[in-house]
Amino acid sequence: MDDKSLTKNNADKIKIKLSWKRWFTIPILLIFLINVGFTTIPNYLRLKEDPRNNTATMVTYQRWGVMPNQLVIDLWGLNETASKIDVTRMVFHVAEKMKGRNFDWVVLSYRGQSRLKIEGNFFSEIGNSLDQQNPVYLMRTLPSQVYSMDGNPAYETWSGGLIAVLGQQMDDLNELHDDWYLDDMK
């Protein structure tokens, strides 16, 4: 064998290796671009419409980057003026932007770690009714629709007198924020 045939053989092997990498990379890149184009960017733009949302950094994406039936709302950071109401409002704005989409679950994450999840039907309900419904009602009923990552209800469903139920629901809302991100910030 001469040097030319060895070089040609090596070149063919390199082409095969490059071809394999290209065919592996292109679908991954396409999935990423679709995720960003249909989920991340629209929600980013919606959150930027309201200047009150500048108190927190929230990113949305499909779970694992490829699961269109699961939306992740990932809270990356808060500034010192951010409140629980600000974060809740941002979740509601995402629900409003995604109201035409159906999700099985919406995962609440903090810095990439999944903490809690909301049933997709309730999340759609928030998005569809946000402009007509009292936001305080949506806030106080939110915790009863939140689940731990293992699928068990994270908070109670309350019954009884109006004042007692309202108080318990607001306590649950505060606890939701603690469980989602505040405990890690302490």
pTM above 0.75, yes or no: yes
Mean pLDDT calculated for residue range 74-87: 93
Digit-coded pLDDT (tens) for 130-150 = 888 888 899 989 999 999 999
Digit-coded pLDDT (tens) for 98-124 = 988 899 999 999 999 999 999 999 999
Residue range of the domain that includes 81: 3-185
Tokens standing for residue 174? 């505060």
Tokens standing for residue 116? 């809690």
Please give the Cα distance from 120 to 13 (Å, whole number). 48
- Check: CB of residue 180 under 8 Å from CB of residue 116: yes
Please count the other Cβ atoms lying within 10 Å of the Cβ belonging to residue 161.
9
- Within 13 Å of residue 65, how many CA atoms lie on the same side as its CB? 9
In the prediction, which pLDDT does 17 show? 59
Supply the mean pLDDT for the chain. 84
- Write the CB contacts of 99 (distance below 8 Å, at least 6 apart in sequence): 124, 127, 128
- Domain count across the chain: 1
- Check: CB of residue 92 under 8 Å from CB of residue 73: no
In the prediction, which pLDDT does 16 show? 55
Q: Measured over all CA atoms, what is the biggest interatomic distance in the chain, rounded to whole angstroms?
A: 92
Of the chain, the end-to-end C-alpha distance in Å amounts to: 70
